[in-house]
Amino acid sequence: MPSKEFSDLNPYDGWISPRLGVRFGLSETGLEMFGPSGEPFVSFVELAQLIQQAEARAQQAETLLEQERSRSQALESRLREMGIDPNEL
């Protein structure tokens, strides 16, 4: 037999968990959950997309960092060829 708490969710749109402060709501797409601040919880699909975006940004940042490192080393090498010690600038 399902617990009373779960069976109570279905008929009540906007039910709020007294312990967690999480609000449940029914929509056209199904059950939605909102945190105590009113912000909606992200779905697993949205979370996966956010993770992919973060990983793509991290990869871009890493690529840019490597390009800057290479550029810095080239400039340092050029200064040394000109007889200038970059550590003394």
At residue 9, the pLDDT reads 47
Report how far residue 60's alpha carbon sits from residue 56's, in angstroms, rounded to the nearest whole number.
Answer: 6
Please indicate, yes or no, whether the overall pTM of this predicted structure exceeds 0.75.
no
Residues 49 and 84 in one domain: yes
Q: How many domains in the chain?
A: 2
User: Cα–Cα distances in Å, from 46 out to 30, 37, 49?
Assistant: 15, 19, 5
Give the pLDDT confidence of 10-69 residue by residue, as tens digits.
Answer: 666 788 999 999 998 888 888 889 999 999 999 899 999 999 999 999 999 999 999 999
> Which residues pair with residue 16 across a beta bridge?
23
Asked whether residue 81 is assigned to any structural domain, the reply reads: yes
Residues 84 and 50 in one domain: yes
3-state class (DSSP) for residue 21: coil
Asked whether residue 39 is assigned to any structural domain, the reply reads: no
Asked whether residue 10 is assigned to any structural domain, the reply reads: yes
Q: Where in the sequence is the domain holding 14, given as residue range(s)?
A: 4-34
Asked whether residue 28 is assigned to any structural domain, the reply reads: yes
